Amino acid sequence: MNDKNINLAQEIASAVSFAGGQTYYVGGFVRDQIIGRENKDIDIEVHGIPPHVLIDILGNIGEPLMMGASFGIIGMRHYEIDISMPRSGNRVNENAGDFETFADPFIGPEKAAARRDFTMNAMMQDVLSGEILDFYGGLDDLHRRLIRHVDDKTFAEDPLRVFRAAQFAARFDFEIAEDTQELSSKIDVSKISSERIMGELEKVLLKSKCPAVFFAYLRKMKQLSCWFPEAEALIGVEQNPVYHPEGDVWNHTMQVLDQAAALRDEASESLWFLLSALCHDMGKAITTTFDEERIHAYGHDREGVKPVQRFLDRITNEEKLIKYVLNMTELHMQPNQKYDNRAHKKAFFKMFDASICPADLLLLAKADSLGRSAPDTDTTRLIERYSETEKFLRDMLAEYNELMSRPYLMGRDLLEAGVEPGPQIGKALEFAHKLRLAGLSKEEQFRQTMAYLRGKNGE
């Protein structure tokens, strides 16, 4: 797929050169080519010709697709490539932090690169000659595995760059330069849209091996309080050291998050699953108490629903996601707790029945258990130790799934038996479902449910 897009980039660059301009690969594509990371997103920037000439060139080559009302990013139908011109911008809304950008094709490569966020993203590569233009030391910073901003003024123009720095640090296992951290700590991030915050968070949770790095840098840069106050509230919340040698709830949550990242490919909804790992113990900030020198957080699973709801409402309006994470938060303790207490099979079935995604619930329980370790603990040994618990829980889930696959009483069965439509149908089905969980056959469910209805009707 990249060859096709690269061939198109070269064709465009040849036509632009003939018209007196230059075309450069820019941004993450150049960076990832240098460090040997795969990047399917090809961005090219065209310099030295007016916008209408570029549009004519693209129209002669294929079908250009304008991305937005004003001149900005252009796509090409049937290709995965973004084409743009260097842009300048003016602040148009001080309160919202909005900028008006416009094409400035004669600004020159050095000034165009100055508007980019980090030195590693400010490098440009001539599409035709392959020459690398590196005005701000991006190549050296890449080799040093360092994220460093290009320019104080232009960096602060987009507050999202604070989160992008932390996101890149987590994804690439890079460090953020001290001066970039210091500048980031002074930037007001409150006016960023929730969609853009969620976009960076999604990249972190789905693409990084250690998402905790993202939150560690936000903590260092004092940028948790605006968008992640429920996570920040976990800092310093003590736990019983017998069960939590890793320290406070913040440390535990970060360990669980990284453990969950190792399991995300097994989850039905990877993003939702990672968000559940982040949120699962938020209730401890409001329930932790001390009793005769012992630390408790009774009911933190149930009480955690409130702060988790606030957090999710701040970053997303996706109802299914919110419902999933709240459900996982409320149930996250139950799998391991029921195993440790040798609960009856019926209790496990009831738990699975209450879960939106039982398989993901077991993954969260595993991450929760593995996220309770002192520094430098061998994770392999922890996984081996948990294997017996995991096998038991998976076996229980397999039994539950088999039980749910059997024929069961449905509303139409009751209607066919002459039961009048109405609220009693719903109550009868609730009763029948309990019989189903107990392992009764459909015939026995029908018999007992009809008896239940007769008793309700006084017959």
Higher pLDDT, 384 or 355: 355
Domain boundary among 208, 227, 246: 227
Q: What is the pLDDT of residues 9-32, one digit of tens each?
A: 999 999 999 999 999 999 999 999
The CA-to-CA distance between both ends of the chain, in Å, stands at 71
Residue 312 burial (CB < 10 Å; 0-12/13-18/19+)?
A: buried
The C-alpha atoms of residue 98 and residue 196 are separated, in whole angstroms, by 13
262 touches 270 (CB < 8 A)? no
Are 246 and 386 part of one and the same domain? yes
Segment 272-291, tens digit of pLDDT: 999 999 999 999 999 988 88
Domain for residue 222, yes or no?
Answer: yes
Domain boundary among 388, 405, 422: 405
Does one domain contain both 70 and 193?
no
Predicted pLDDT of residue 241: 84
| Neighbour-count burial of 23, counting CB atoms closer than 10 A to its CB (0-12 exposed, 13-18 middle, 19+ buried) | buried
Please give the Cα distance from 376 to 399 (Å, whole number): 37
Which is nearest to 160 in space by CA: 213, 198, 196, 136?
196
CA–CA gap between residue 331 and residue 390 (Å, rounded): 16
Q: Which amino acid, residue 194?
A: S
Count how many domains the chain has: 4
> Domain range spanning residue 447?
411-456
What does each C-alpha distance from 107 to 34, 103, 114, 139, 273 come to in angstroms?
26, 9, 11, 23, 45
Q: Is the pLDDT of residue 155 over 80?
A: yes
Q: What is the pLDDT of residue 377?
A: 78
Q: Express each pLDDT in 223-275 by its tens digit.
A: 999 999 999 999 999 988 888 888 899 999 999 999 999 999 999 999 999 99
Looking at the chain, the whole-number percentage of residues with pLDDT higher than 70 is: 95
Angle, in degrees to the nearest 10, between helices 249-263 and 358-370: 130
Q: 435 pLDDT exceeds 70?
A: yes
Write the CATH number for 196. Answer: 1.10.110
Specify which residues 133 forms β-bridges with: 124
Residues 66 and 137 in one domain: yes
- Percent of the chain at pLDDT > 90 equals 81
Position 382 scores a pLDDT of 84
Q: What is the pLDDT of residue 221?
A: 98
The answer to the question of residue 378 being in a domain is yes
Q: Are 119 and 148 in contact (CB under 8 A)?
A: yes
What pLDDT, on the 0 to 100 scale, is given for residue 457?
66
Pair (419, 303) in one structural domain? no
pLDDT surpassing 70 at residue 1: no
Q: Which of 202, 227, 252 corresponds to the end of one domain?
A: 227
* Residues 373 and 255: beta-carbon distance below 8 Å: yes
- On whether residue 199 sits in a domain, the answer given is yes
In a domain, 94, yes or no: yes
68-113: pLDDT as tens digits:
544 578 999 999 999 999 987 655 454 444 556 678 899 999 999 9
**Res 240: pLDDT:** 85
Flag whether pLDDT at 335 surpasses 50.
Answer: yes
When mean pLDDT is compared across 182-186, 195-199, 391-395, 418-422, the lowest value belongs to 418-422
The pTM (predicted TM-score) of the whole model is 0.91
Which residue type occupies 441?
A: S
Average pLDDT, the chain: 92
In whole angstroms, give the CA distance from residue 8 to residue 277: 42
- Please check whether residues 116 and 82 belong to one and the same domain: yes
Nearest to 254 by CA among 306, 304, 217, 299: 217
Overall average pLDDT of the 417-428 stretch: 91
CATH number at residue 312: 1.10.3210
